[in-house]
Structure 1
Amino acid sequence: MPEPEIRKTALQLETIWHEGGPVAETPLKKGAAIAVIRNPFAGSYHAEIAGFMDDLKPLGLRMAQELIDALGGDPAAIQGYGKGAIVGTAGELEHGALWHVPGGYSMRELIPESMAIVPSTKKIGGPGTRLDVPITHANASYVRSHFDAMEVGLSDGPKAAEIALVLVMTTGPRVHARVGGLAHDDVKGEDGLR
């Protein structure tokens, strides 16, 4: 397949100082990189689609690097991540699943100590559709303080024959995390869980 046809890209950034409690000494930063591409499978069923994952890999790496740069430029500062896709109405949910490998592995390639599975979500929707992208700790899925989500979306996409591909990263736990469990500083990083 040819290189993905990109209509637009966007970065969404949040800096969270507090959630009603004390102001954090170091705020939590969350960011999302979004790329709206033409869906080459829109409009009809295609039995063979898996090859498009290879075509998406360079885009995944570029988006991951842009997001790391937007969050300060230090890949080691990234503690949480997630991914997602919004498929336009002329596509099918499986087209969003094509983002699992290129989206997840691009972040894991650039972020040191990122053994945890990258959580994901996808849905069908039109322009203005919002997506809650789940977030977990990048190296240990059992770190409760990093269970989070980021709502993303664009007012003009995806159009019917497009897909909005999303990567999300954070620089730490929820700003007032206090529900116990495994802490970031106690992660062993042996199996992506603990």
Structure 2
Amino acid sequence: MTDQQVYSPLTLRASGLSCGRSGLVLNENLDFSLTSGECLLLRGPNGTGKTTLLLTMAGIVAPLAGRFAPERPGDEMPLLHYCGHRNAIKPRLSVLENLGFWAELNGPTGLEPEAALAEVGLARLAGLDAGYLSAGQARRLALARLLVSLRPLWLLDEPTAALDAAGHGLVARLLDAHLAKGGLAIAATHDPISLPDRAPRVLQLEGIW
């Protein structure tokens, strides 16, 4: 582990993984592996199972067949963050209160909430009720959750949704910093994501029709 790395070595393997919902198979026999410092982008048209695959890897939806498992020397910290396409924000709580809630729920092991808000460009809105945020600002607040609690694996569903060009750059910087610490990321996205220091891998999903 280098001075820059925060996370212990981690490998993720999917073997013969099939996923779907309500008995409908969306993808089957997926095989891939990912190691520390790597990012995998899930591509494919709407309805090809990108979100379902993320939910399966997060343990929220049971696989229909096969397995997806981490390989790491110890379980010293929780494994993952799942950041879905919904931002999970309480509109009557302030921006800072929302982030403080998530820090307490997931463990305040990363940045202080105020610092995380500054990192995503929301510092001046800390006291504002979150219900007044624009769609892009709400997405930035959701991304700030990744920063207040350390987890080696990020599972991201359309992380750049509703974001402007500056927001796309923010996502790329956050991902690049996370990977530099020895983290991993898997993101379902229609948007191109160019990382400053590394090229993401791509898994093209065609779905089963």
TM-score by length of 1: 0.27
Point out which structure has higher relative CO (alpha carbons under 8 A, 6+ apart). Answer: 2
Greater share of helix: 2
